[in-house]
């Protein structure tokens, strides 16, 4: 059984069938990419995983439990985090402060005020935040104000802000969108390293095939709301249906 199992998901916006009977089975501790041309339905599908949209029909199971009907924060508490489309960085705060906030939120869904517990917790949380910042390569920038960082470093910070919540499933929506080639390659290297070192399942949404090629264990290709092929990366690139989907738009 996969950690994320999607069965027969359909979603319609007025006359448009944005998701057409989508099936997906993501195995634990793998990197599973969902690729497809613009407008294929990738973001719509991802929004069905995080509670922003509810499918018209079908099921979405995470870790053996249905996610349908849960609120976004409940899904987050269950261990699903999304990166890169949520600009939740507090620009006036430092890198370490930014990273501590989601750790507190994950702990109890709010800021509790038990003075003694809070002090010891705060130390633990700071230590964990620091560890994650080192992990993403921001160990030297703990006290830098977020607004002063480059775009690439901001993405790393967002990554650390997610990792500190200790998610089981990390959803990445176009992790290299808008990045220059060098930053893109650095981000790919970082994701590869995290995927191999951490006990986390990654689902990467991407329209650029090349980005996910060296990263993914498994690729599902979405076109016009439907999964047209699911296979290992080696079998995806030259696949006639995939080429048709990309050239046809
Ligand atoms: P992708 O992320 O693969 O580029 P999307 O999931 O954003 O594609 O969109 C899939 C299709 O659904 C597109 O045709 C888009 O215009 C349409 N769509 C997405 N969200 C909405 C919405 N809230 N209302 C109406 N149409 C939408
Ligand atoms: Mg999208």
Decide whether any atom of ligand 1 lies within 6 Å of the 223 Cβ.
no
Q: How far is the CA of 84 from the centre of ligand 2 (A)?
A: 12
Domain 1-79+168-249: state its class: alpha beta
pTM for the whole thing? 0.89
pLDDT value at residue 43: 93
CA dist 148 and 34 (Å) reads: 33
Domain with CATH 3.40.50.300 in the chain: 1-79+168-249, 85-166
Count other Cβ atoms within 10 Å, centred on residue 125: 20
pLDDT value at residue 208: 79
Q: How far is the CA of 47 from the centre of ligand 2 (A)?
A: 10
pLDDT value at residue 112: 45
Q: Over the stretch 136-181, which tens digit does the pLDDT of each residue have?
A: 999 999 999 999 998 889 889 999 998 988 899 999 988 888 888 8
**Nearest Cα residue to atom 13 of ligand 1:** 39
Mutate to test the pocket of ligand 1, among 10, 16, 50, 52 (most ligand atoms within 8 A of CB): 16
Please give the CATH topology (third level) of the domain spanning 85-166.
Rossmann fold (3.40.50)
Decide whether any atom of ligand 1 lies within 6 Å of the 111 Cβ.
no
Mutate to test the pocket of ligand 1, among 9, 11, 13, 46 (most ligand atoms within 8 A of CB): 13
**Nearest Cα residue to atom 17 of ligand 1:** 18
Q: What is the ipTM of this complex?
A: 0.98
**Residue spans of the chain under pLDDT 70:** 84-87, 106-120, 248-249
Q: How far is the CA of 223 from the centre of ligand 2 (A)?
A: 12
pLDDT value at residue 114: 45
């Amino acid at each position: 059984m996969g950690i994320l199992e999607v069965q027969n998901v359909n979603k319609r916006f007025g006359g448009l069938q944005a998701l057409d009977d989508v099936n997906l089975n993501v195995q634990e501790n793998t990197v599973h990419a969902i690729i497809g041309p613009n407008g294929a339905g990738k973001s719509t599908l991802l929004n069905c995983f995080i509670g922003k949209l509810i499918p018209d029909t079908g099921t979405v199971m995470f870790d053996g439990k249905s996610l349908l009907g849960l609120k976004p924060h409940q899904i987050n508490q269950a261990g699903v985090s999304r990166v890169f489309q949520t600009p939740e960085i507090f620009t006036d705060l430092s890198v370490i402060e930014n990273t501590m906030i989601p750790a507190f939120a994950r702990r109890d869904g709010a800021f509790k005020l038990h003075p003694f517990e809070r002090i010891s917790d705060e130390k633990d949380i700071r230590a964990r935040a620091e560890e994650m910042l080192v992990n993403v390569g921001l160990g030297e920038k703990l006290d830098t104000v977020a607004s002063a960082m480059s775009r690439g470093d901001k993405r790393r910070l967002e990554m650390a802000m997610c990792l500190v919540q200790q998610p089981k499933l990390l959803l990445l929506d176009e992790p290299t969108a808008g990045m220059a080639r060098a930053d893109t390659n650095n981000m790919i290297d970082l994701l590869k390293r995290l995927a191999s070192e951490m006990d986390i399942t990654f689902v990467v949404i991407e329209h650029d095939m090349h980005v996910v090629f060296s990263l993914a264990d498994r690729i599902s290709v979405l076109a016009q709301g439907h999964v047209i092929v699911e296979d290992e990366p080696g079998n995806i690139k030259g696949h006639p249906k995939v080429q048709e989907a990309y050239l046809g738009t």
